[in-house]
Structure 1
Amino acid sequence: MKFVLNINKVFEELLLQEDTDQDKKITKDDNGPKCFLLVDENTKAEEEIIGTYQLSNLLQELAQLKETNSELGEVDLSRIQENPVHRISRKIKDDYWDELTRTIDKKGLTQIIEDEKTSSKVSTLYVSEKDKQGVIYFKALEAELPNFKVQVLPENYSAEYVETLNEKPGILALALEQKIYSLQGVPFVVPGGRFNEMYGWDSYFIGVGLLIDNKIALALAIAENFKYQIIYYGKILNANRSYYLTRTQPPLYSSLIIEIAKKGIQSLDWLKIHLETIILEYNTVWMVQGNRLTPTGLNRYKADGIGMPFEVEPGHFDDILESYALKYNLPIREFEKQYLQRTIIDSNLDEYFVHDRSMRESGHDTTNRLINRCANLNSVDINSFLYKYEKDIAYLITTYFSDTFAFDNVAYTAEDWEQKAIFRKNKINELCWNEQAGMYFDYDFVNQKQFPFEAATTFFPLWAGLCDGDQATKLVKIALPQFVKTGGITGSTKSSTADIGINAPQRQWDYPFGWAPHQILLWDGLIKYNFVDKAQEMVYRWLWLITRNAVDYNGTIPEKFDLEISSHKVFAEYGNVGTEFDYIAKEGFGWVNASYQYGLQILNEELKTKLAELISPEDLF
């Protein structure tokens, strides 16, 4: 049934009555009567809209109608009273992915130039000199776009060169494709909120969500931009901004190609080109001895770069810089200035920032697991990802290329990659598995001992398939209960952060915070080892949290959650992206959107029904 309404009049009356805290949302925190009478302008039919969820849905529908600039508009009551699971999933598929899509081209740069991260009056775009087509295209745009400058990156840039770009930071070009009338940017999907760049491991999880929602072209575009970055920047970047040129991200390129290949939607030539690029990345980014490859034969995160990471907010490192400012008898801001200008060089502080940059390369920025030690660790996460690379490459060669694949004057066989995987699996189990704890721990190869921080990355070997049955059982029976809260698993156990000082920063990847990638990789691992009932439970917990939060808070889908209180109200470094909007949530958050769509693919029909009824996990499991 549809009601014809005076859009602005009803919108203002609804807000006046129900948005009592005047935050431009209707949430469970408002103290209105939670009941609003709709009257059709034509028929004078009446309908009571009752409760936070329906009232916030009405607000969202009216906000969309306001964009038409019409006096009257139709509100469909079925949308107001919609099953919340259906509503969230529908909006992700029909609206959110499109809202999160960007391009680096004439049209897309207009939006990106206005990005809040652009501090100077002139926006700079960097393009590799190897990309001849890109240089010509973007140079031509300088004359067309106001306050826009193109700078060409040399083919072989150094960390020292990248540091000089901090004086004029900018976005990095991505792939272009020839359309009928013009070159256009190959699209990518940003995480959400303030982000206008393509993030590395976010993009894999987003790609999984896109494939589920039949956004095939966008998923393929992510793979194309992965390939572009490896060819033109030497790695899949932390994100495509100038100050990330020295950092990569957790390697999930092969996993995306496997997901695409399983859809059967690409040619053998397409797969060949991407397999070549995966092998190129594996050899040149991860397997260079002394860089990301260590003497143990396992890998680490190891970013290049000098001094403090550029992207952090002012004051972020004050807890670290304070003691150094005292050491040099300087005010903290003056010490920071001189350290950044390298008029003061301190080897201990330099080493701290090597670890900090490497931690940011891991995607876990930040966690006490990696603070001031990341580059010393054969971490469970990176080695699980690379084991999966080796297995994926073997699978692709066997399945599509008759067991042999020639690239760069080397004939690779599937057996070659199986042997690499076997070596890595044995080493991970030798150095990282802790039988007593029933967990995997990062191995400190410098001090030759495990670092026993209990992190959700202990479940990554389940996802990668490198555990034996006994290890998998211990992870599920012994380790998992220590991470489980009502709404999913936390980034670490509470005990692992118990000794952290009360004045220390609350690290967003530790307890009590919950993140979509941890949940997704856990679900996959549980299913892989046939813990089907446990997988159903863990999917339900996370999807209940997203649904409950969206119902109570005007459709909010945030970057992360505080699992101790089952809420998006996070008090940690960097805040919580995806929670700031007026009237209507238009985009959600990339990998949380994907986790919702993916989880619904796993969840059985009985639990989907209970999810729509918002039955608490504590009443079910």
Structure 2
Amino acid sequence: MKFSLNIDKVFRELLLQEDTDNDKKITKDDNGPKRFVLVDEKTKAETVIEGTYHLANLLQELAVLKEKKMEFAEIDLARIQEDPVDRISRKIREDYWDELTRTIDEKGLMQILQDEKTTNEIPTLYVSAKDEQGVKYFQDLEKELQNFKVGVLPLGYTEEYVATLNTKPGILALGLEQRLNNLEGVPFVVPGGRFNEMYGWDSYFIGVGLLIDNQLEKTMAIADNFKYQIVHYGKILNANRSYYLTRTQPPLYSSLLVDIVKNKVPDLEWLRGHLETVILEYNTVWMVQGERLTSTGLNRYKSGGVGMPFEVEPGHFDDVLAPYATKYNLPIREFEKQYLNRTIVDAGLDEYFVHDRSLRESGHDTTNRLIDICANLNSVDINSFLYKYEKDISYLIKNYFEDSFQVEGTTYASQDWENKATFRKNKINELCWNEAAGMYFDYDFVNKKQFPFEAATTFFPLWAGLCDENQAKKLVEIALPQFIQAGGITGSTKESVAGIPEDVPQRQWDYPFGWAPHQMLLWEGLINYGYLDKAQEMIYRWLWLITKNAVEYNGTIPEKFNLETSSHKVFAEYGNVGTEFDYISKEGFGWVNASYQYGLQILNDNFKTELNVLTLPDDLFKV
């Protein structure tokens, strides 16, 4: 049934009556009557819209029509009454992925350059000198548009050179491709909110969601931009900004390729080029002894660069800098300035920031697990990811290249990579597995002992498939209950942060916060080892949390959640991206969108029914 409405009139009346806190949303926190009468302009027929969820849907539908400059239009009541699960999934599939898609080319450049993190008076785009086509394209565009600057990164640039860019930071170019008669940017999908660039591990999880929603070309484009970054910047970047040139992120490139080929086998030359690049990244980024490869034979996160990371907000490190300011008898802002300019060089503080930059390379920025120790750890997460790399490379060589693959003069068989994987698995189990705790812990190779911080990364070996059945059983029966809250698993156990002083900032990747990648990797791990009922439970918990917050808060799909309160209201460092919008969430948040689509693909129909009425997880499952 459709109602013909005066869009502006109804929009104003609805907000005046229901948006009592004036935040341009209709949420459970508003104190309106939660009952609004719609009158058809033509027939004068009436219908009543009741409840936070349905009123918010009405507001969203009206907002869309207002953006289209429509004065009178029909509203489809079926959209207002749409079941929450169907509505959230539909909007992700039909709207959010497109809203999050970007290109760096004439059409998309200004959207990329003119975001809230751009600090230069004239936005700057950096292009690798190796990309001769890109340099010419963007220099020609610079002359034509005259509203941005092009900087060319020299071949063989050093960390010292990268540091000079901090006074003139900018975006890094990504791939271009020939389309008909024009060069166009290879598309990528951003996380959302203030994140307006391509992020490393976010992009893998986004790719999982895109494949489910039949957007294979966009997923392949993510792989193409991974390849571009490795070829032109030497690594898959934390994100394509100049101050991330020394920092990578968790390696999931091979997983993306395997997901793509299992969805649809692409052109083998395309796959060959990507497999060559995966192996190049493995060898040159991860397996350089003394850098990210350690004496144990296992790996660590180890970012390059010196001093404070550039991207943090003012005051973020005040608790760290304060003792050093006292040591040098300077006000904290003056000490910070001199330290950044390297007028003051302090070895102890430099070492702290080696760990801090490496922590950010891990994607877990920040967690007490990695603060002031990250570069000393053979962490469970990086070694699980690299074990998966080795298994994936073996799989691709065996199944698509007749068991022989050559890269830079070296010929590999699938067994070569199986051997690497077996070595890594044995080392992880030797150094990181704790039989008594039933968990994997990071290994401190400097002090030659486990670092017993209970983190959700303990489940990554389930995802990678490197556990034996006994280890899997202990992880599920002993470890998992310590992480479970109503809405999923927390980033760490409560006990792991119990001894942290109250004046220390609350770290967003620790208890009580929950993140989509942790959930998704856990689900796949449970399925790998046959714990199908437990996988259903954990999927339901997380999707319930997303659905509950979207229903109660005008469609909000945020970056992360507080699992102690089952809420998107997070008051830890950095706040919560994806919660700031007017009237209608246009994009959600990348990996949370993906987790919703991925979870729905696996969830049993009877649980989807319960999800639509928001049945409490603890009414369905025992913690």
Give the deviation of 1:39 after TM superposition.
Answer: 0.4
CA distance in structure 2 between the aligned counterparts of 1:112 and 1:75, rounded to whole angstroms: 34
**Aligned AA (1:484):** I
In structure 2, what is the Cα distance between the partners aligned to 1:408 and 1:356?
34
Give the secondary structure class of the aligned counterpart of 1:106. Answer: coil
Partner of 1:277: 277
What residue in structure 2 maps to residue 492 of structure 1? Answer: 492
Task: Kindly report which structure 2 residues correspond to 1:506-521, keeping only aligned pairs within 5 A, or say none.
Answer: 506-521=506-521
Matches within 5 A, 1:158-307: 158-307=158-307
Q: Does 1:574 align with 2:589?
A: no
CA RMSD of aligned residues (A): 0.6
Question: Matches of 2:394 and 2:113 in 1, distance apart?
Answer: 42
**Using the alignment, how far apart are the partners of 2:125 and 2:367 within structure 1?**
32
Give the deviation of 1:597 after TM superposition.
0.1
Matches within 5 A, 1:214-613: 214-613=214-613
2:144 counterpart SS class: coil
Distance in 1 between the 2:412 and 2:518 partners? 33
Deviation at 1:155, TM superposition (A): 1.6
User: Structure 2: how far apart are the matches of 1:410 and 1:71?
Assistant: 66
Distance 2:84 2:47 in 1: 20
The amino acid across from 1:156 in the alignment is G
Write the distance in 1 (CA, Å) between the matches of 2:119 and 2:253. 32
- Offset from partner CA, 1:371-393 (integer Å, 9 cap, x none): 00000000000000000000000
Deviation at 1:141, TM superposition (A): 1.1
Residue 249 of structure 1 aligns to a residue whose secondary structure is coil
Residues in 1 aligned to 2:70 and 2:203: alpha-carbon distance in whole angstroms: 38
CA–CA distance in 2 between the matches of 1:178 and 1:219?
A: 18
CA deviations on 1:147-189 (whole Å, 9 max, x unpaired) are 3100100121111111100010000000000011210000000
Task: Classify the secondary structure of the residue corresponding to 2:108.
Answer: helix
Please give the secondary structure, in 2, of the residue aligned with 1:85: helix
Q: Which moved more, 1:149-158 or 1:231-240?
A: 149-158
User: What corresponds to 1:46 in structure 2?
Assistant: 46
Deviation string for 1:287-323 (max 9, x for gaps)?
0000000000000000000110000000000000000
Q: Distance in 1 between matches of 2:303 and 2:157?
A: 14
* Per-residue CA distance 1:346-385 (angstroms, 9 max, x = gap): 0000000000000000000000000000000000000000
Which residue type is aligned with residue 155 of structure 2?
A: E
Matches of 1:68 and 1:4, distance apart in 2: 16
Normalised by the length of structure 1, the TM-score is 1.00
Distance across 1 between alignment mates of 2:422 and 2:603 = 33
After the TM superposition, which parts of structure 1 deviate over 6 Å for at least 4 consecutive aligned residues? none
Determine whether 1:118 maps to 2:118. Answer: yes
Give the residue type in structure 2 aligned to 1:446.
Answer: V
8 A Cα contact 1:121 1:147, kept in partner: no
The reply on whether 1:142 has 2:142 as its aligned counterpart is yes
Distance in 2 separating the partners of 1:585 and 1:184:
28
Amino acid at match of 2:86: H
Unaligned 5+ segments in structure 1 are none
Distance in 2 between residues matched to 1:263 and 1:537, nearest whole Å: 26
**Displacement, 1:119?**
1.3
Report the Cα distance in structure 2 between the residues aligned to 1:303 and 1:588, rounded to whole angstroms.
Answer: 30
Asked whether the equivalents of residues 249 and 361 of structure 1 are also in contact (C-alpha less than 8 Å), the reply is yes
Q: Distance in 2 between matches of 1:297 and 1:47?
A: 68
Residue 26 in 1 paired to residue 18 in 2? no
Letter in 2 for 1:44: K
1:335: how far off? 0.2
List alignment gaps of at least 5 residues for structure 2: none
CA displacement at 1:408 relative to structure 2 = 0.9
TM-score using structure 2 length: 0.99
Q: Name the CA distance, whole Å, in 1 between partners of 2:331 and 2:407.
A: 56
Aligned residues of 1:383 and 1:424 also touching (Cα < 8 A) = yes
Cα drift, residue 144 of structure 1: 2.1
Q: Deviations over 1:469-522 (max 9, x none)?
A: 000000000000000000000000000000111010110000000000000000
Distance 1:265 1:297 in 2: 34
Q: What SS does the corresponding residue of 1:107 show, helix, strand or coil?
A: coil
Aligned counterpart, 2:109: 109
SS at match of 1:334: helix
SS of residue in 2 equivalent to 1:615: coil
Q: CA deviation at 1:22?
A: 0.5
* Cα deviations by residue, 1:25-52 (Å, 9 ceiling, x for unpaired): 0000000000000000001111100000
Given residue 145 of structure 2, which amino acid in structure 1 is its aligned partner?
L
Distance in 1, Cα, partners of 2:74 & 2:155: 56
Please give the alpha-carbon distance, in whole angstroms, between the structure 2 residues aligned to 1:16 and 1:264. 51
Aligned-residue identity in percent = 77
Letter in 1 for 2:468: D
